[in-house]
């Protein structure tokens, strides 16, 4: 059985509103409207905020990377400790 492909027009696509758009609209309907019209806000505060968020994101990425590395180092340490104990036991038993 073949399915017919439904092509939606540009008009129909505009009727779909995401949850984030509803949140934007409820926060500031004017800003939501301007964004829908293609307006890109420009202000020094906006640029400062974008840089701050990027820096925060980079910091969080670094923390995640360091945590991953530290877990790996702990695993290596446990492996070498167990290996050393096994070698000591073999040496004592021989």
Spatial distance between the Cα atoms of 49 and 43, rounded to a whole number of angstroms: 10
Please tell me the predicted confidence (pLDDT) of residue 12.
55
Q: Does residue 40 sit within a domain?
A: yes
Q: Does residue 10 sit within a domain?
A: no
Q: Does residue 69 sit within a domain?
A: yes
3-state secondary structure of 8: coil
Q: Does residue 34 sit within a domain?
A: yes
- DSSP 8-state secondary structure symbol assigned to residue 14: T
Please tell me the predicted confidence (pLDDT) of residue 10.
52
Q: Can you list the pairs that 51-56 forms with residues at least 24 positions away whose Cβ atoms lie under 8 Å?
A: none
1-31 pLDDT, tens per residue? 444 444 444 555 567 788 988 999 999 899 8
Domain that holds residue 57: 18-93
Average model confidence (pLDDT) across the chain = 85
Asked if 35 and 24 count as a contact pair (C-beta separation under 8 A), the reply is yes
Q: Does residue 7 sit within a domain?
A: no
Spatial distance between the Cα atoms of 12 and 4, rounded to a whole number of angstroms: 18
The total number of structural domains in the chain stands at: 1
């Amino acid at each position: 059985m073949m399915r017919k492909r439904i092509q939606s027009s540009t008009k129909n696509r505009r009727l779909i509103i995401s949850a984030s758009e509803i949140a934007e609209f409820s926060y500031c309907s004017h800003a939501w409207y301007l964004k829908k019209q293609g307006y890109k806000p420009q202000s020094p505060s906006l640029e400062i905020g974008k840089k701050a968020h990027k820096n925060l994101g980079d910091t969080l990425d670094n923390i995640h990377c360091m945590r991953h590395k530290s877990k790996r180092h702990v695993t290596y340490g446990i492996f070498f400790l167990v290996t050393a104990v096994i070698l000591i036991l073999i040496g004592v038993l021989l």
